[in-house]
């Protein structure tokens, strides 16, 4: 048993729910990660970097001050860009989440075919511990698609409730059986009691960001887990509108923008992005505490093409020339920041074009694993490392 993970489980704070069969509350964010190893794999492998991708639903370049937004600041995301490479011509695969997520995890496919190995499956087979936090939109359960752990929602409609009173969780060897002698898998709906009965005690996007920290802390490669690297997909529902055709951005508070003379929707959206920025800052602190700063490749991007504002009075949040909505291929241009200190050059801005299809082969090359033959995307690792020459990437 990994004693460090067990400690994290037991030392939970801010109890939020009672799992089925449990007599005592535990922190949902704490048990997003499995205390006892996902499936008993403890193969000794050479030291390889872990990979985290944070894909934010609806995030646009104009939402980040490192891309030129001047109405509000995103200091932690700016720090991520300053210490890595900021790409100005990266494209999401679609304006719909399911095909966009499929392209990201299959090297370019628009859907997930039966029996098709996802990026998570291939990394799992290569010895990585894999996790997914947030939205899953590809039909079959994520734990059947290569993810050792899952906490989140299995449809976009579920994820649109920022104060949901439940989420789905899959955690092998996470709970005791009836004899209290054997660990068994927990799979099912977890209640978020702070949100039951219409209460709004727990903001789910914040919960996801805390879970990302917990995952990194619990799965840090060390002697206890034979330096097993991890792969984490944080598919976050923010900052897209939860009501189609409306600028509807639920948030606990519009701080620090309450005094701005903006439409309320603009204050809420800016506050949502500020909370995202704060969460990424905490992740960077956790990496530092775990001694992983130079051993985790982080990619932060927009999951889909940015949506068009329903109220044109919100257009001041856009960058000049930024396209939202419509049919132009330009509408799929989203932020992409690559952060991997000691590997990716710092302070670089690249106009090199690439897309979601190129992420899977890139991640596999970071893991020293060959991409699948049917990938339409290509590895961008030489470009990330600042090496001369790379294949032309697939562009949607």
Mean pLDDT, rounded, for 92-101: 94
Q: Residue 38 has what pLDDT? A: 45
Is residue 179 classed exposed, middle or buried when 0-12, 13-18 and 19+ CB atoms within 10 A define those classes?
Answer: exposed
pLDDT confidence band for 328 (50 / 70 / 90):
confident
Query: In which region does residue 135 sit, left (phi positive, over 0), alpha (psi from -120 to 50) or beta (all else)?
Result: beta
Cβ atoms < 10 Å from Cβ of 115: 5
Q: Residue 329 has what pLDDT? A: 80
pLDDT confidence band for 28 (50 / 70 / 90):
low
pLDDT tens digits for range 239-250? 999 998 999 999
Mean pLDDT, rounded, for 274-294: 95
Q: Where does the chain have alpha helices with state H?
A: 3-10, 75-82, 97-106, 119-125, 156-159, 204-218, 264-289, 359-366, 381-384
Residue 7 scores a pLDDT above 80:
no
State the number of CA atoms in the 13 A half-sphere of 290 facing the CB.
24
Lowest mean pLDDT among 205-209, 291-295, 298-302, 373-377: 373-377
* Residue ranges of domains in the chain: 48-143+204-384
Record the pTM. Answer: 0.89
Q: Residue 371 has what pLDDT? A: 82
pLDDT confidence band for 33 (50 / 70 / 90):
low
CA–CA separation, 254 and 257 (whole Å) = 6
Please name the CATH architecture into which domain 48-143+204-384 falls. Answer: 3-Layer(aba) Sandwich (3.40)
Is residue 20 classed exposed, middle or buried when 0-12, 13-18 and 19+ CB atoms within 10 A define those classes?
Answer: exposed
Mean pLDDT of the chain: 86
Q: Residue 17 has what pLDDT? A: 34
Percent of the chain with pLDDT over 90: 72
What single DSSP character describes residue 303?
S
Q: Residue 225 has what pLDDT? A: 87
Phi, psi of 322 (to 5 degrees): -75, 135
Lowest mean pLDDT among 163-177, 198-212, 279-293, 305-319: 163-177
State the number of CA atoms in the 13 A half-sphere of 227 facing the CB.
9
Residues in the chain: 396
58, 240 contact by CB (below 8 A): yes
pLDDT confidence band for 114 (50 / 70 / 90):
confident
Preceding amide of 239 cis, omega within 30: yes
SS3 at position 193 = helix
Name the range with the highest mean pLDDT among 5-19, 95-109, 164-178: 95-109
Mean pLDDT, rounded, for 318-325: 89
pLDDT tens digits for range 71-88? 999 999 999 999 999 999
The owner of tokens 């701080």 is 255
CA–CA separation, 346 and 196 (whole Å) = 45
């Amino acid at each position: 048993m990994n004693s460090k993970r067990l400690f994290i489980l037991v030392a939970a704070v801010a109890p939020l729910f009672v799992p089925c069969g449990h007599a005592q509350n535990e922190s949902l964010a704490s048990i997003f990660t499995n205390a006892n190893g996902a499936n008993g794999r403890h193969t000794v492998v050479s030291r390889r970097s872990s990979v985290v991708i944070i894909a934010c639903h609806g995030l646009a370049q104009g939402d980040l001050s490192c891309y030129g937004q001047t109405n509000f600041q995103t200091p932690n995301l700016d720090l991520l860009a300053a210490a890595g490479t900021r790409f100005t011509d990266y494209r999401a695969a679609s304006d719909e989440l399911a095909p966009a997520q499929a392209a990201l995890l299959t090297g370019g496919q628009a859907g997930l075919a039966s029996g098709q190995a996802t990026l998570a499956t291939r990394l799992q087979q290569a010895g990585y511990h894999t996790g997914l936090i947030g939205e899953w939109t590809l039909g079959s359960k994520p734990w059947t698609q290569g993810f050792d752990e899952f906490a989140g929602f299995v449809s976009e409609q579920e994820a649109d409730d920022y104060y949901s009173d439940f989420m789905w969780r899959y955690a092998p060897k996470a709970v005791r059986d009836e004899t209290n002698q054997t660990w068994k898998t927990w799979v099912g709906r977890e209640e978020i009691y702070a949100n039951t009965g219409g209460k709004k005690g727990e903001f789910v996007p914040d919960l996801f960001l805390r879970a990302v920290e917990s995952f990194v802390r619990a799965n840090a490669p060390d002697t206890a887990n034979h330096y097993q690297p991890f792969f984490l997909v944080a598919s976050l529902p923010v900052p897209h509108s939860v009501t189609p055709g409306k600028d509807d951005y639920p948030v606990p508070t519009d701080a620090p923008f309450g005094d701005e003379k903006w439409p309320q929707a603009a204050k809420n959206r800016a506050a949502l992005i500020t909370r995202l920025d704060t969460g990424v800052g905490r992740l960077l602190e956790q990496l530092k505490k775990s001694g992983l700063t130079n051993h985790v490749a982080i990619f932060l991007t927009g999951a889909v093409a940015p949506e068009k504002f329903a109220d044109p009075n919100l257009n001041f949040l856009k960058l000049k020339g930024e396209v939202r909505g419509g049919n132009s291929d330009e509408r799929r241009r989203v932020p992409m920041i690559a952060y991997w200190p000691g590997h990716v050059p710092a302070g670089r801005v690249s106009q090199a074009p690439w897309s979601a299809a190129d992420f899977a082969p890139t991640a596999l090359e970071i893991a020293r694993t060959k991409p699948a033959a049917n990938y339409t995307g290509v590895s961008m690792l030489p470009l990330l490392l600042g090496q001369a020459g790379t294949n032309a990437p697939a562009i949607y």
